[in-house]
Amino acid sequence: MTVRPLVILPDSQLRLTSKPLAGADKDVRKLVDDMFQTMYDAPGIGLAAIQIGVPLRVVTMDVSKRDDKQEPMALLNPEIVWKSEEMREMEEGCLSIPEYYETVERPDRVRLRYRDIDFKEREIEADGVLATCIQHEVDHLNGVLFIDYLSKLKRDRVMKRYAKLARMKDDEA
């Protein structure tokens, strides 16, 4: 398992639409292992493959509390098939937008269809943090970031801030 470098805003890769998998071979298993290692190292509760520069529909998640037993989930080709009408506000952050948090309103519950690591079709219904994390990560697969749910003013401020940080990093290199 390898910790891979994260793709950070304003990198345009984050706006790519990820491609579905045809199956789960040893390369996909290695990708999932690396994604878990990267996600836990960050530390984060979810990671989409595009966040490490791989435009495939793969997500890793673990919304267990830090001191609890880990509950890793690998989602291949995840698709939200139902969203509740009831909404919930929750603070979100993103490994690709480090140290920035904002409250986002999303559906409270979702039903997700996906393939597990053995490429068997599964379906789960989720609420709370798990539902928010699922929606956040599936958005990544579609080139959508949580800042897209913010006002234009807030989104523009975030984009400017991270563009400036990227320029400063390039100047140091």
**Structure tokens belonging to residue 12:** 């345009």
Q: Which of 22, 117, 13, 26 is nearest to 55 (CA)?
A: 13
Q: Is 137 labeled as catalytic in the residue annotation? A: yes
Give the β-pairing of 121-127 and 87-94.
unpaired
Query: In this structure, are residues 115 and 122 in contact, taking their beta carbons and an 8 Å threshold?
Result: yes
CA 167 to the chain's CA centroid: 25
> Is residue 32 a contact partner of residue 60, using CB atoms and an 8 Å limit?
yes
The active-site residue, picked from 85, 86, 99, 137, is: 137
Point out the residues that are catalytic: 137
